Amino acid sequence: MSLYILCFILFLLGFYCLLVKQNLIKKIIGFGIMEYAINLFFILLGYRWEGEAPILDKHQVIVNFVDPLPQALILTSIVIGLGITALMVAIVIRIYEKHKSFDINEIRKLRG
């Protein structure tokens, strides 16, 4: 139970960084931290006491596996997170070249 609360604290730290900081790169970092926290929460849900990794073995019979379904879903989510980060960084690089700053107050002021 305390593990879930710590995981939510990580999520809220990322949310704070996304909301309060004025630097565009800090917003990307906050987004990444939120994504790490959510992935960790799903795998915490699927853990089983004294469980083994869900891979069958030739020489021994294992009876106690952890849940493989959250692992399959989060594998997809990790790779999608990489695509999201790449696209955000590409847009931020273009913004920097046009306005010469990462600060969103200055970006809002300049026109054209």
Gap between the Cα atoms of 43 and 65, Å rounded: 13
The reply on whether position 110 binds other proteins by CB under 8 A is no
Considering only residues 61 to 100 of the shown chain, the ones binding other proteins according to CB under 8 A are: 65-69, 71-76, 78-87, 89-94, 96-97, 100
The answer to whether the beta carbons of residues 32 and 85 sit under 8 Å apart is yes
User: In this structure, which amino acid lies at residue 89?
Assistant: V
By beta-carbon proximity to other proteins, the closer residue of 16 and 110 is: 16
Considering only residues 19 to 58 of the shown chain, the ones binding other proteins according to CB under 8 A are: 19-23, 25-26, 28-30, 32-33, 36, 39-40, 43-49, 51-58
Among 38, 60, 99, 106, binds other proteins (CB under 8 A): 106
Q: Which tokens go with 36? A: 């790490």
By beta-carbon proximity to other proteins, the closer residue of 49 and 111 is: 49
Gap between the Cα atoms of 87 and 42, Å rounded: 25
